[in-house]
Amino acid sequence: MDAMDHDSGELQEVSAAEIKSFFESAPPLKDGDEINKKLKEFVERNSSATAPRVVCVTSGGTTVPLEQQCVRFIDNFSSGHRGAASTEYFLKAGYSVIFLYRSGSCQPYCSSLPDDPLLECFDISDDSNIQVRQSHAEVVKRVISEHHAAVSGGYLLKLPFTTIFEYLQILRLVALSLSCLGPCAMFYLAAAVSDFYVPWETMTVHKIQSRSGPLDMRLAQAPKMLSVLRKEWAPVAFCISFKLETDSKILVEKADMALKKYDMHMVLANELSTRKEEVIVVSKSGKTVVRKDKAQPCVDVESPLIELVVDRHSTYIKHSGDGTETTRREEDEILVS
């Protein structure tokens, strides 16, 4: 079970020390300056509209290195499909997206492609030219053109990570760069972030040796960055986190706890085996179940989901001047299970 809620002042104090320690002991971020430069340019390009909407979508799992010269690591199963599909729908809805994704995970527009698109979608023709296989032509064309339009149009910025250190360091840079957009910025935190990790300074340097007998490992709890994101890095941005469980009996309870504990605006809760069909949206105004329409198998569950999220963000922006958060429950109910 998660720890009991402390008095919020105490929680803030404990977390601040942990978080400070985490960043101070983490290995320095490679290409930090390059990332900051890209972020600055991206935000400038997208600030010119009257009410520019930018969402940071995080996607895929973080790794926890077990050795400094990393051979082994703990990973989270996360294809990145949720984040990648959601990014497509945010772009369609007119948002610009900073896509903070696990290197090698699912890319926007690419989910209907085979695992190895180059080798499975192309042939060499009789006159020695590269040609796309007819069966894949339309899909490949759409993938390439939509992806390139989003990137070259300046609507999609892609930033890769692998370790939990890189993920949190880059997330912090993104949050600081988006703070100028106030409530128009959104965080859609679909990444599967490690709950446990090995602090860098206590990590064994060399590869852990095989031996006779079992291997005992002790992992520290990873500090929850959601609190510091909400309180310090992006205090007026609209924040959405995810909850994935394998046991449906505890799913909503865990989502409710996360909503309160980290002061999220929404928690999107899903059960591992049904995550492509159903998402439970938990907020202060109650619970809403979003389902894939079985009559439209080609339409992802992310379609109605992002529509609802965008609508809630609009309400949030509208009310952000007068200090009240929306509790427009009657408009939010789709189906309550």
Q: Rule CB under 8 A: which residues touch its own copies?
A: 1-3, 63, 66-67, 69-77, 103-104, 107, 110, 113, 115-119, 121-124, 128-130, 132, 137, 140-141, 143-145, 147-148, 192, 195-196, 205-207, 209-221, 244-247, 272-273
Block residue for tokens 């706890």:
257
Rounded least distance, CB 251 to its own copies, Å: 11
C-beta closer to its own copies: residue 146 or 263: 146
The two tokens of residue 92 are: 């369609």
- Distances from the Cα of 112 to the Cαs of 98, 109, 152, 213, 223, in angstroms? 22, 7, 22, 45, 36
SS3 letters across 291-326: ECCCCCCCCCCHHHHHHHHHHHHHHHHHHCCCCCCC
For residues 224 and 22, the answer to whether their CB atoms sit within 8 Å is no
C-beta closer to its own copies: residue 62 or 288: 62
Block residue for tokens 């095989």:
210
**What are the CB-based long-range contacts (under 8 Å, 24+) for 111-116?**
111/81, 111/84, 111/85, 112/139, 112/143, 113/139, 113/140, 113/143
Rounded least distance, CB 29 to its own copies, Å: 19
Rounded least distance, CB 332 to its own copies, Å: 28
Rounded least distance, CB 79 to its own copies, Å: 10
What is the rounded radius of gyration, in angstroms, for the C-alpha atoms of the chain? 21
Q: What is the H or E stretch that residue 176 is in?
A: helix 164-178
The two tokens of residue 35 are: 């990332």
Rounded least distance, CB 108 to its own copies, Å: 10
C-beta closer to its own copies: residue 140 or 175: 140
C-beta closer to its own copies: residue 48 or 209: 209
Rounded least distance, CB 212 to its own copies, Å: 4
C-beta closer to its own copies: residue 246 or 324: 246
C-beta closer to its own copies: residue 3 or 295: 3
